[in-house]
Amino acid sequence: MKTIKKNIYTSLALCMSLAFFLSCSEIDNQEIPIAKTAYEYFVEISGIPRCTGNEKAASNYLAEFGRVRGFEVFQDEMFNVLMRKNGSKGREHEPPIILQAHIDMVCKKDNNVIHDFEKDPIIPVVNDDWITAEKRTTLGADNGGGLSMIMAVLASHHISHPPIEALFTTQEETGLHGADFFDVSLLNGQRLINLDMIGEEAFVVSSKWDDGPDLVIPILARFALPDWPYKADSPLRDTMAEVFRSFYGKEPVLAGINNRVAGVECLVFANKMPNADMISIGVDIMDIHTPYERMSLSSLNRVYDYLVQVLEVL
């Protein structure tokens, strides 16, 4: 085992010296880590401090996650991470899909709780269906839920999917800064699924528009956010809605995010990638950004299963 591990890291070092993008096909025949569930990856990422502005360790963890699996990995100066996974057998040449979530989390705790967010792990516990932090702190389900689902997709050897570009961004909570900094010319895909919503039954498809419901997610600071125009023609939305009807037996709720008081990175990407087809979905999370934050485990599992079905038919 030690010899195998040493060989993997030797190969990784060679990859790092060859290119800014890290194509590590030479480790394909080495031991690849066993795929885990979305919740197991959520527990892993929760063990790494990742308050906004302190994402380096979590970013490095994600980059290494991709490298040991032979993915092409890029990490920029703001610790945004992009990794590419080839399409499954027979789907290698299909248009890629972008799966996107942010790394950072809001860090708050009750006054009487002893917890150092710079170094102490957050330990998730499950009570009935609800995942909370062991101590009275924020859980980091925003956006650890999205991160963990994407990781589970990337790690799986059995999912049918087109080529995947997984984009993990930083400093979302204080102004979408990582997304704003990221060089979108590195992306080949023109379809993007953001996994940063807080309601399982809502499709967020634009900024607020007159004929649709409004969805508000609190942010730490008020700042000017760009518009995300509603697209009347959205093949991605139509496909995901069709899968939703089959999976849930009902219609999804189409919503617009109120960009006067809330943010999601699709607002930035809509400005930088005006032709992209985008949608934002997520898991049931309660009391977001507070020490009482909690996430539904069954919702996490359902949304992951739904996402897998979407990838199968895109």
Residues 6 or more apart whose CB falls under 8 angstroms from that of 13 comprise none
Q: Which two tokens stand for residue 305?
A: 């299963």
Residues 6 or more apart whose CB falls under 8 angstroms from that of 136 comprise 109, 110, 113, 291, 292
State the average pLDDT over residues 130-159.
97
| Cβ proximity of 189 and 97 under 8 Å | yes
> Helix, strand, or coil here: 6?
helix
Of 152, 119, 113, 118, nearest to 135 by C-alpha is: 113
Question: pLDDT grade, residue 1 (50/70/90)?
Answer: very low
pLDDT at 122 over 70: yes
User: What is the per-residue pLDDT across 46-103, written as a single tens digit (0 to 9) for each?
Assistant: 999 999 999 999 999 999 999 999 999 999 999 999 999 999 999 999 999 999 999 9
Residues 6 or more apart whose CB falls under 8 angstroms from that of 293 comprise 132, 133, 138, 139, 140, 141, 142, 285, 286, 287
| pLDDT for res 227 | 87
What does the alpha-carbon distance between residue 278 and residue 257 come to, in Å, rounded to a whole number? 13
- The residue annotated as part of the active site, out of 165, 172, 196, 277, is 172
- The residue annotated as part of the active site, out of 72, 104, 173, 265, is 104
Task: Identify whether 172 is a catalytic site residue.
Answer: yes
Q: Rounded mean pLDDT of the chain? A: 88
What does the alpha-carbon distance between residue 28 and residue 111 come to, in Å, rounded to a whole number? 49
Does domain 32-313 fall under CATH 3.30.300.30? My reply is no
| pLDDT for res 262 | 72
Of 159, 41, 156, 157, nearest to 101 by C-alpha is: 41
DSSP state of 245: H
| Cβ proximity of 270 and 278 under 8 Å | yes
pLDDT at 107 over 70: yes
Return the percentage of the chain with pLDDT > 90, whole number.
Answer: 75
Residues 6 or more apart whose CB falls under 8 angstroms from that of 98 comprise 164, 165, 166, 167, 187, 189, 191, 192, 193
Of 89, 83, 70, nearest to 147 by C-alpha is: 83
Place of tokens 């699924």: 193
Q: Where are the domains of the chain?
A: 32-313
pTM of this structure:
0.87
What does the alpha-carbon distance between residue 176 and residue 77 come to, in Å, rounded to a whole number? 15
| pLDDT for res 223 | 60
Task: Identify whether 293 is a catalytic site residue.
Answer: no
User: What is the per-residue pLDDT across 197-252, written as a single tens digit (0 to 9) for each?
Assistant: 988 988 999 986 555 555 655 544 556 688 899 998 999 999 999 999 999 999 99
